[in-house]
Amino acid sequence: MISTKGALVLAGGGVAGIAWETGFLLGLQDEAPGLVRRLLTHSTTLVGTSAGSTVAAQIATGNNLQQLFDRQVAAMTAERIAVIDLAQLGGMVTEATKDAASPEQARQRLGTLAREADTPPAAVRRAVIEARLTTHEWSDWPLLIPAIDTSTGELRVFDNTSGTNLVDVVAASCAVPAVWPPVEIEGRLYMDGGARSLANADLAAGAAQVLILVPSPAESSFGVAVSDEQLRALDPARVRMINADAASLKAMGANPLDPESRTPAAQAGRDQGRRLAAEVDTFWS
């Protein structure tokens, strides 16, 4: 259930995106601690897609931002590198979805690719997600995590009433097609919620104000981060979308799934959060 007060939407962006979003939120706290106390409360619904599902779940299960940031800049990590060519992946998505009769059919084709791809074992990937989440149980914080059924292409939005395991849900939302294995939940295989939308911002419809953090440019080889249609779905909410700036994009590097991107992305996100703290404070007020 969406809070009528506000929603924080955290978009996908790989390991680098997790680090950037964590750093950005800590940067807000550095300059405007009162803002973060108002923003990160149970009256704010968290909507997390892919990388954003990790950050949202971490926040919802009681981790403070400094702890999360320290984990991003630590030398040791359970993350595993995946080599990814964003342009090539974008081309694969375009080819799979070309001439599809509906968005669901397009995602269904992508789901077929996801199921047939040669990826690391599911247990190996799940161990990474387990390590990301210090608590593996849902809390009472309103948290929405989207994933896509690989067989039907349909969107499923998980929350703390779904009766599902939080680790599995986050792993599903982070299951980049042809990179990480789909995740089985209740006999169905699910893939990255970003296959529908990088942010799935329309899931925040009903909130009075919506802050959207996107660790990528406004437009990339995957298309626009948040479509006009999704923004219209949020009417009449006040909406502020923040994309990673040029310095942050440079810090993230060419491969957002490389664990080496964590520290520079987190630091750049923190710097950007500090610079925009006053502006976001005014917006959220």
Q: What is the pLDDT of residue 17?
A: 97
Give yes or no for a contact between 153 and 107, defined as CB atoms under 8 angstroms apart.
Answer: yes
Q: Tell me the pLDDT band of 3, cut-offs 50, 70 and 90.
A: low
| Average pLDDT score over residue span 134-147 | 96
Residue 86: the pLDDT is: 62
SS3 of the chain: the string is CCCCCEEEEECCCHHHHHHHHHHHHHHHHHHCHHHHHHHCCCCEEEEECCHHHHHHHHHHCCCCHHHHHHHHHCCCCCCCCCCCCHHHHHHHHHHHHCCCCCHHHHHHHHHHHHHHCCCCCHHHHHHHHHHHCCCCCCCCCCEEEEEEECCCCCEEEECCCCCCCHHHHHHHHCCCCCCCCCEEECCEEEEEHHHCCCCCHHHHCCCCEEEEEECCCCEECCEECCCHHHHHHCCCCEEEEEECCHHHHHHHCCCCCCHHHHHHHHHHHHHHHHHHHHHHHHHHC
pLDDT band at 76 (very low <50, low <70, confident <90, very high): confident
Range of lowest pLDDT (17-31, 125-139, 216-230, 233-247): 216-230
pLDDT in tens, 208-267: 999 999 999 987 666 688 999 999 999 999 999 999 999 999 999 988 999 999 999 999
The pTM is what? 0.95
Beta bridge partners of 213: 10, 242
